Amino acid sequence: MEKKMKKETIFKLALPLLCCTVLTGTGALAQNELVDEIIVSATGVPTPAAQLGTSVDVITADELQDQQYVYLQDVLRQQGINVAQPGGAGTLSNVFLRGLPGRHTNLFVDGISLFDPRSNQVVWNDALVDGTRQIEIIRGSHGVLYGSNAVAGVVSQFTQIGGDTQMSARAEGGSHGTQQLGVTGQGETGRFAYGFAASYFDTDGFSTADEADGNREKDGYDNTTLHGRADMVLTDATTLEFVVRHVAGSVEFDGAPAPTFTLIDVAGKGEDYERSAYRIGLKHEAGDWTHQIDVTGYDSQIDSIVDFAVSSSADAERQKVAYRGNVRVSDMVQLVFGAEDQTAKYTESNDYEVDVSAAFGLVQATPTDALSFTAAVRQDDHETFGTEMTYRVTAAYAPEGAAIYRAAYGTAYRAPSLSELYLPIYGNAALQPETSASAEVGADFLMSNGTEFSATVFEITIDDIIGYDPSTFVNTQVVGETKSRGAEVSLAFYPMDTLDVRLSAAYTDSKKPEASGSGDMVRELRVPRVQAGLNVSWRPRADLSIGALVRYVHDTVDFGSVELDDYTLLGVTGQWQFQEETSLFGRIENVADEDYQVVNGYGTSGRAVYVGVRRSF
């Protein structure tokens, strides 16, 4: 019965694709071509989106400013990706892309991986968007290019750099005693191009433990982020690249002390943190050949605070040396190839270290203007777990310019992280690597009235996923197949020249074997069955913009089989450019003052109001 239901579900998920195929045949598509955005992160080289064979979301700087996003994770939420944050700003968020936990998704900022070896995931709650030129969300397995933490997808964030000299400063304040300051800049002089962002965020916050349960103690958070990039042209063919990043601050949260282990207000509990990263790159272009050598580093230092004093400290770092090359063999064939060596270290009660090296190759072929293929292979050599080979193939077909049909299949491999193996209390040195396979098919269409529609169905299977046993508090190998399958759709239309409407929705069915080994299949925690988002942007005048954001979440479960209530959130934004270089902006989040939870027992913000001013010069 279960297999029959799964087959029926897949057929239902594929229905939007079939409907759009019918539309293609009836001439409902536009004669003009889809906007052919250039994407870097899917293949490692600039590639038109129509040739990728995979699902991609692109968010521009203008969109980030119009919707007044502060944190990257808020951008992901509105793209149909669930973010489970246990409490207010600064608490460790978990991003569930395509129904998989955060350790299966990586974030790269200007080519630097921000995957934290101790947290065993990206620290999404610290990632701000000030100074961002573009965000690319590449869904599906991309481990061939990006390694083991890219089973569900990769998010790439690029800083504005070069061009005419521009500076911008903003100040913002509002609910929960929140204040924000930011300065960004970009420009170039001679052979030198630069871009930078400096941000400060401070809030008194609200109780991490839900106020509805009688908790009133506020848990604050502060974040100072400095990020800069510079490119220096050494010769007409050679460029030296520098990226530096530093994030520091503190966060307060609550706890669940013995003997009841119930989440309650706990004063004087939190973390002080510093996270630094850098990249030094040398790029050389010679005819059809391009060579790039990068040295990157990441360091994270955490002081755990109990009773207002440091109780323990932890340090995690990663060093990586990588070479990537590409050559255009002909007008139809391009090759990408590379090798890397990475060392990760983790220190808490003891010192641990592991080295992983890898080599990969990718061929990109366009035998006709309408048809594109990629095929890639990678071999990892793990100091502890040996070698593993993975691969990925994609195809894209764009017969008329107003339609793109795409498909992708790939395998991936993820070895246990140092924290999964050795973290005090939770670590398990007996863990073994996960292996996985993922597939997707999709289509993108442009209708004659300018409406854009996209639909994708996917399935990811992971063998022996590493999980967590709540009865023992220890990481465990969940023997068997974990499956996450679903559909993603998006629609963009423009009723007037001044009005943009964008909708996105995702259905996800993510299940895994029960951690205790009973053989029962259970749902992945904190993964909604259905998510939907609506963005509306209206510009009634050149100097005025008004926006609305709606987010709907349905059918989520948490630990103990607790079913979380469905919720709908409404936000509104406004911006008025009252002088040529000066704008006043504001937003209201959770307009209806909805009482909801994304993690059982943890609080969320009620209605919140923020106003600010931005000055460009």
**Domain total in the chain:** 1
CA-CA-CA-CA torsion sign (83, 86, 89, 92): negative
CA distance 343 to 383: 10
User: Which of 154, 138, 129, 141 is CA-nearest to residue 57?
Assistant: 138
CB atoms inside a 10 Å sphere around CB 370: 17
Q: What is the 3-state secondary structure (H, E, C) of 530-552?
A: EEEEEEEEEEEECCEEEEEEEEE
Reported confidence tier of residue 47, pLDDT bands at 50, 70, 90: confident
Q: Please compute the mean of the pLDDT values over residues 225-251 and round it to a whole number.
A: 98
Residue 540: count other Cβ atoms within 10 Å of its Cβ: 11
Cα distance between residue 35 and residue 452, in whole Å: 10
Measured CA to CA, the distance from residue 409 to residue 431 in angstroms comes to 27
Rounded CA-CA distance 255/561 in Å is 21
CATH code at 569? 2.40.170.20
Which one, of 83, 87, 79, 80, lies nearest residue 59 by Cα? 79
If DSSP codes are grouped into helix, strand and coil, which group holds residue 260? coil
Q: How confident is the model at residue 22 (pLDDT cuts 50, 70, 90)?
A: very low
Number of H helices, E strands in the chain: 5, 36
Greater pLDDT, 285 or 45: 285
Confidence of residue 44 (pLDDT cuts 50, 70, 90): confident
Read off the pLDDT of residues 220-236 as tens digits, 9 standing for 90 and up.
999 999 999 999 999 99
* Structure-block tokens of residue 385: 């777990």
3-state secondary structure string across 67-132: CCCCEHHHHHHHCCCEEECCCCCCCCCEEEECCECHHHEEEEECCEECEECCCCEECHHHCECCCE
**Which residues contact residue 128 at a Cβ distance below 8 angstroms, ignoring those fewer than 6 apart?**
70, 71, 72, 197, 199, 201, 223, 225
Is the pLDDT score of 1 beyond 60? no
Instruction: Kindly tell me if the per-residue pLDDT of 42 is higher than 50.
Output: yes
Which residue reads 């290019």 in tokens? Answer: 145
Tokens (6 digits) for 97: 């892309």
Q: Give the structural domain span for 418.
A: 2-616
DSSP annotation string for 491-529: EEEEEETTEEEEEEEEEEEEEEE-TTS---EEEPTT--S
Which of 270, 294, 316, 279 lies closest to 116, judged by CA?
316
CB atoms within 10 A of CB 253: 24
Dump pLDDT digits (tens) for 386-411: 999 999 999 999 987 689 999 999 99
- Any residues with CB less than 8 A from the CB of 588 and at least 6 apart, and which? 571, 572, 607, 608, 609
Percent of the chain with pLDDT over 90: 82
First to last CA, the chain: 65
Q: Which 3-state string (H, E, C) describes 132-168?
A: EEEEEEEECCCHHHHCCCCCCEEEEEEECCCCCCEEE
Give residue-wise pLDDT tens across range 524-539.
Answer: 999 999 999 999 999 9
Residue whose entry in the numeric block shows the structure tokens 């339609």: 403
The model's pLDDT over 428-445, given as tens digits with 9 standing for 90+, comes to: 999 999 999 999 999 999
* Least-confidence region, from 94-103, 441-450, 607-616: 441-450
Tell whether the model's pLDDT for residue 449 goes beyond 90.
no
* Separation CA 378–CA 359 (nearest Å): 6
A 10 A CB-CB count for 140 gives 29
**CA angle (110, 114, 115) in 5-degree steps:** 145
Percent composition of the chain: helix, strand, coil (DSSP 3-state, to 5): 10, 60, 30
Which one is predicted more confidently, 14 or 606? 606
C-alpha–C-alpha distance, residues 94 and 316, integer Å: 19
Helix (H, G, I), strand (E, B) or coil at 16: helix
In angstroms, the CA 274 to CA 248 distance is 4
8 A C-beta contact, residue 219 and residue 88:
yes
Residue 315 has pLDDT above 90, yes or no: yes
